[in-house]
Chain A
Amino acid sequence: MDFLNHHVLSLLTFVPLLTAFAVLLSPSLGLARWVSMLGSLLTFLLSIHVWYYFDGQTSGLQFTEIHNWIPTFGIKYIMGVDGLNLLLVVLTAFLTPLILLSVWHLDGSKQKAFLALFMSLECGMLGSLVAFDLVFFYIFWEAMLIPMYFLIGIWGGKNRIYATSKFIIYTFAGSLLMLAAMIVLYILHFEQTGIYTTSLLDLYGAPPAYPTQMWLFAAFAIAFAIKVPVFPFHTWLPDAHTEAPTAGSVILAGVMLKLGTYGLVRFAIPLFPEAVVSYAPLIVGLGVIGIVYGALNAWMQTDAKRMVAYSSVSHLGFVVIGSFALIGGGAALSPEALTGAIYQQINHGISTGALFFLVGVIYERRHTRLLADFGGLAKVMPWFGVMLIVATLSSVGLPGTGGFVGEFLILLGTFMASPLAGSVASLGVLLGAIYMLTLCRKILFGPITHEENKNLSDLTPREFAYLTPLAILAIVMGVFPNLFLDKIRPSIENLANNYKSYKIVAEAPALNEAGDKRAEASR
């Protein structure tokens, strides 16, 4: 227990990587499947452990691990969770086994490589979520691109090479900007304090001077905005989603996009608080444009997957405006909106993940995703219909689903910050309902127009097994939001109220004292 509490985040991050190696070395695909499933379940259990023992009374960094990594440059190995990343960690670990289940039936000579890449992708995502040192974070952030690149490029659709190259080059170019900004920040911090450090624990609360801050913030924000993606950096997303295999789309929409919004909240806002005040109108404006633009585009799509992809652009616009809702003349961020933004990330992961799964289900049966090829499926696939409706309703934010809680909190906070942005964003909610219900109607209802659709089989037990947890969670998150929000509230309030002089202290796990000293000593 003692060991576990001090190394749980390292284990959480590197168990998937070890699993990836084990998968590569397994002699048969059957064994590789079980190995990857066990590895991902173990990771999920570890994440539940973190969630369960997470102390919801404090805003500090918990389960912290600090080691020296490259002391010559002051670079450290720091991992920790607080309220901002706790739920995302659990979401990542939760989605991975479901995705593995969704590809359980696929075989082929390369399937082992698929599983291995997927597990290393999980390592990259979890690592960048829990890393608390700029360079350490950057390694995971970039390394994550490599498995995703192969997932789209090898298992994708017709136009996959174009899509995957666009994806990786866009993201890589943005990240390079961030890398330069990181180095400048590091040098400026040295000039201010005489200490070489890339640790967030040290960099928080010592922002660089104002005009430089603007440049650095812009570099960080562009890198994250490409990942989110914020309009006008979104053009890679529909291509990547359309070409990616189902599993890739689910993880891309479910977790990878959230890393962009998480990065904005974790890095861009607290590191450069004064720049936030200047840029907030621009970012909120782009967020609102993204909401409406994404929604209108989604409405016009004829391909179900592209539609869900554009809906992501729209929904993540909400997360972005929620993260930048300044109140009191820039004195604080709206805690409601920020809470909503964090909560909405999880909701979007679950509802959009489910939608991509569902599109994958009918694509596997019919090998088409065009809405015109469907219609009346509710009669032949009733359970599929139930799942699709639950996912849709959660996605449009019907009260009683998680989406409602998130969007309501965001809009509440945004109205207080800027009534105009709030009103336009509300329009996005309306549009969201229109296009998502159109999707539902075109697939599920009306007469069966295509002969092939008459004999489609309903969900298999395996498909049930990975869709049901998502459906249940979508409703639980709507009915019992406090189950999730109670734990993360102190962290959010700390950031929202003190973002101008944000500080976070590393706390040891409550269960152990000795390890705390060890961590202190190695600092």
Chain B
Amino acid sequence: MNVTIPTLTSEFYGASLPVYSLCVGSVVAMLQGVSKRFGSDKAVLAVLLLSLFAALGGVFFGAPSVETSYLNGGYLVGDLGRVGQGLILGIALVVTLMFSATFLRRKFLRGEVASLFLMIVTGMAVMVASDDIITLFIGLELSSIGLYALVGYINPSRRSQEGAIKYFVLGAFATSLLLFGFALLYVATGTLRLSDMAQILPKLLDHNWVRLGVLFALSGLGFKLGLAPFHLWAPDTYEAAPTGITALMATAVKVMVLVVVVRFFAGSLGAVYDVWLPATMFLAMVSMIVGNVMALVQASVKRMLAYSSVAHSGYMAIALCALGGTSNDFPVAALLYYLIGYSIISLGAFSVLMWLENDQNDNLLIDDLAGLAKKHPWAAFAMAVFMFSFAGMPPTVGFMGKFFVFNAALSNQLYSLVIIGLVGSAISLFYYLRIIVRMYMSEPVRVAVPLVPNRSWLVCGIVGTAVVANLALGTLLPEQLLKSLVSTSQEVAAKKVKLAPVAKAH
């Protein structure tokens, strides 16, 4: 391996603007934490928004037109990375705005919290844009540590601290699994670069360390993704965290991990698909079953959504399995479509929850939603759209995503996964309908804590946008989004290693 000292061009600064602006924002916010004069909530919000918008600008305008690798693979910008960064930044923006409009505003808009928040986003932006295991791991840790802290720190209570500890202990364990897997892969292949690994692995097919390494890495990533049986932290942590952070965990973390897994499966680990394909199929099946069944019996909305997110991770894992097939280049497009749709729906649903919560009740039960349609018809309408969308009913983006994912799976003969997915969808309708039944068809049962949301235009705008985007991507615009995702898909497919020798061995 020849290490060259990279020359940093202006192009590089443009391409890495997302990461830089987030870093700078994080540092500035940290300083604001100790300043009386510049530490007001408005000033912190300004810094948060500025750095997020600057980063978004970098994603849209700074990146080179073809996939380019900088710093010996430490930073890799292409369509896939940009889609990931764009999504993560968009999610972070929505979460920030929602926090600033609800009862946790003062607690969230503190210098140290904002600093941690931007650190999380930085880590995510690094992780989705790296071709190097070390950078990737640093990004992951950066985001995880911030998340562990924010689960318990923003609005401390026994419950949230318990959730944070659980998340931290299990998360640290999962990280060590991941790291061990990476180490084994490094020992076997002798390289840290994912793209080099892709070239070397085909020669090491029967190397036991490779197989072990892949399985360990997959377990670690499965944990972050909330795939069963690594999902046990999810319900407790989702319930314990402030809802905005829950939204971030349900969406941005999934985006981050899935982008990386796509890089692994389609690129570097393509040759050893006979190791990860059965394992991922197993994870997908268990997640769909466990998620959908456990969600049936939950009383808390956030817990139910946690199990539903486990199930949705399972659906997305179906698309990951399709990457192991030989068919076309649609799996990545299908996965990203599902991911984008899922992020919109989740953000929308959690935003509605954030809107309804107050400092007496920040963990709504499904029964608390009773009679919502009467009191707040538009909130109930939005929630109903999101629930139908989660269940995959047309004309919503949830249906389109599910259609594309099943399409990708059936093109690759993954019949068993699709059957379980279908059964799971039918079950899932049941618990999503419970929310709708409560909102529309029953009278309020617990009036002790009335739901009195503030009427903020910002909240209405965010929820409204989510509803419109949801319906538009389900009816009028799927082609527009799909077209751009197909080009991403082709970028990934171009790196796919020829699988012919492995196929023959079977």
* A contact residues vs B (CB 8 Å cutoff): 68-73, 109, 135, 138-140, 142-143, 145-146, 149-150, 153-154, 160-161, 165, 168-169, 172-173, 176-177, 179-180, 183-184, 186-187
Contact = CB atoms under 8 A, between A and B. Distances in A.
Given A72-B483, A150-B440, A142 B393 contact: yes
Given A72-B486, A142-B399, A172 B426 contact: yes
Given A138-B394, A139-B395, A150-B440, A169 B410 contact: no
A165 B296 CA distance: 14
Interface in B399-434: 399, 403-404, 406-407, 410-411, 418-419, 422, 425-426, 429-430, 433
Contact of B433 (A70, A165, A173, A177): A165
B478 interface: yes
B479 A69 contact: yes
B410 A180 contact: yes
A153 B407 contact: no
B393 A169 contact: no
Given A142-B393, A187-B411, A176 B486 contact: no
B406 A169 contact: no
Given A176-B425, A187-B410, 14 more contacts: A70-B478, A71-B479, A73-B407, A135-B403, A145-B393, A146-B393, A172-B426, A176-B422, A177-B422, A180-B406, A180-B410, A183-B403, A186-B407, A187-B407
A442 B478 CA distance: 56
Contacts of B399: 139, 142
A310 B264 CA distance: 57
A154 B440 contact: yes
B471 to A, nearest CB: 11
A183 B333 CA distance: 17
Contact of A143 (B394, B422, B483): B394
A180 B409 CA distance: 11
Instruction: List 6 tightest A-B contacts by C-beta distance, closest first.
Output: A139-B394, A173-B426, A176-B422, A70-B479, A142-B394, A153-B441
A150 B380 CA distance: 13
Most buried by A among B374, B410, B441: B441
B298 interface: no
Nearest to B407: A183
Nearest to A184: B410
A183 B419 CA distance: 13
B363 to A, nearest CB: 25
B433 to A, nearest CB: 6
Contacts of B407: 73, 183, 186-187
Contacts of B403: 135, 179, 183
B422 A172 contact: no
B482 interface: yes
B393 A172 contact: yes
A148 to B, nearest CB: 12
Contacts of A150: 440
State which size class the interface on B falls in: 20 to 34
B69 interface: no
B475 interface: yes
B167 interface: no
A169 B426 contact: yes
B148 interface: no
B377 to A, nearest CB: 8
B394 A153 contact: no
19 contacts: A68-B479, A72-B333, A73-B482, A109-B374, A138-B394, A139-B399, A154-B441, A161-B437, A161-B441, A168-B433, A169-B426, A169-B430, A172-B391, A179-B406, A180-B422, A183-B406, A184-B410, A186-B407, A187-B407
Contacts of B315: none
B388 interface: yes
A179 B391 CA distance: 14
A27 to B, nearest CB: 15
Most buried by B among A68, A138, A142: A142
Contacts of B442: 161
Contacts of A160: 441
A168 B486 CA distance: 34
B315 to A, nearest CB: 13
Interface string B368-411: 00000010000000000000100101110001000110110011
B478 A139 contact: no
Contact of A165 (B418, B430, B486): B430
A139 B388 CA distance: 13
A122 to B, nearest CB: 15
Contacts of A145: 393
Contacts of B388: 146
B421 to A, nearest CB: 9
A145 to B, nearest CB: 7
A143 to B, nearest CB: 5
A139 B475 contact: yes
B429 A168 contact: yes
A182 B479 CA distance: 19
Given A142-B394, A153-B441, A169 B429 contact: yes
B410 A143 contact: no
Contacts of B479: 68-72
Contacts of A176: 422, 425-426
B413 to A, nearest CB: 9
Nearest to A188: B410
Contacts of A149: 433
A77 to B, nearest CB: 10
A143 B388 CA distance: 10
Contacts of B478: 69-70
A126 to B, nearest CB: 15
A46 B220 CA distance: 60
A108 B410 CA distance: 49
Contacts of B430: 165, 169
A153 B440 contact: yes
A68 B486 CA distance: 17
B482 A72 contact: yes
Interface string B432-447: 0100010011100000
Nearest to A153: B441
A233 to B, nearest CB: 14
Contacts of A179: 403, 406, 422
Contacts of A169: 426, 429-430, 433
Contacts of A68: 479
A70 B404 CA distance: 11
Contacts of A139: 394-395, 399, 475
Contacts of B404: 73
A74 to B, nearest CB: 11
A268 B482 CA distance: 30
Interface in B468-497: 475, 478-479, 482-483, 486
A410 to B, nearest CB: 34
Contacts of B419: 180
A168 B432 CA distance: 12
B429 A180 contact: no
Contacts of A186: 407
Contact of B429 (A154, A172, A177, A183): A172
Contacts of A187: 407, 410-411
Contacts of A71: 479
A409 B406 CA distance: 42
Nearest to A144: B394
B169 to A, nearest CB: 39
A70 B478 CA distance: 7
Contacts of B393: 142-143, 145-146, 172
A316 to B, nearest CB: 24
A293 to B, nearest CB: 26
B275 to A, nearest CB: 27
B297 to A, nearest CB: 16
Contacts of B394: 138-140, 142-143
Nearest to B410: A183
A160 B399 CA distance: 26
Contacts of B486: 72
Contacts of B437: 153, 161, 165
A179 B404 CA distance: 11
